[in-house]
Amino acid sequence: MLLLALDTATPAVTVALHDGTSVIASSSQVDARRHGELLLPAVDRVLTEAGLKLDAVTGIVVGVGPGPYTGLRVGLMTADTFGLALGVPVHGVCTLDGLAYAADIEGPFVVATDARRKEVYWARYADRRTRLSEPAVDRPAEIDGTVTALPAVGAGALLYPDTFPDARAPENVSAAALASLAAEKLAAGEELEPPRPLYLRRPDAQVPKNYKVVTPK
């Protein structure tokens, strides 16, 4: 097994190679404005570091968000197209699950990432591998107090310490965690999700009002 994992659903552009046993190379850069520019060179760097070519990869793992759409699509489109060109399966993993997997917490906790517009993407976890709620997008103050009082990881928690008093690292997802989680699930014979984006919001689009008169009154 050789998995190439990538995620662009948070400000991090993160790539990792996993050989079924462990992560053999990885790269993470934080630059929310340059996902499109940074991803391919990062893939190239990680492969070079491992001394491998892309066609050795047997599966692609991609973070499906939720995350800011423009960046999120860079990872998904790249993963889909790799899958097409190489003829290998493309697996989706919820980005929040990747963050949860990297958390160093024993009991229940919450993962929250920055959804911009003063909102967070979040989900509740029983432990590092077990998500208890569907990913959601809300203003921090609108999330139930019993949830926000839990230990919390992710930039969305760190950004709103008033709401998440027990906010901790990691801030952004790492493809290494994503790859390890996916490898673990695949080894256990579990099906992963399809690589479909979790937008959670409808597109911003105003239906124009009725035709506006231009003749001056």
Q: Which residues bind other proteins (CB under 8 A)?
A: 32-34, 36-41, 43-44, 54-55, 68-71, 73-74, 76-86, 116, 197, 199, 203-208, 211, 213-215
Degrees to nearest 5, angle at CA 148 with 143 and 151: 150
CB of 2 to other proteins, least distance (A): 14
CB of 39 to other proteins, least distance (A): 7
Q: Are 123 and 135 in contact (CB under 8 A)?
A: yes
Q: Are 123 and 111 in contact (CB under 8 A)?
A: yes
Q: Which is nearer to other proteins, 146 or 210 (CB)?
A: 210
CB of 154 to other proteins, least distance (A): 19
Q: Which is nearer to other proteins, 13 or 143 (CB)?
A: 13
CB of 18 to other proteins, least distance (A): 18
Q: Which is nearer to other proteins, 12 or 143 (CB)?
A: 12
Q: Look up residue 73 and give its two tokens.
A: 């699509």
List of residues 6+ apart from 92 with CB closer than 8 A? 61, 62, 63, 64, 192, 193, 194, 195, 196
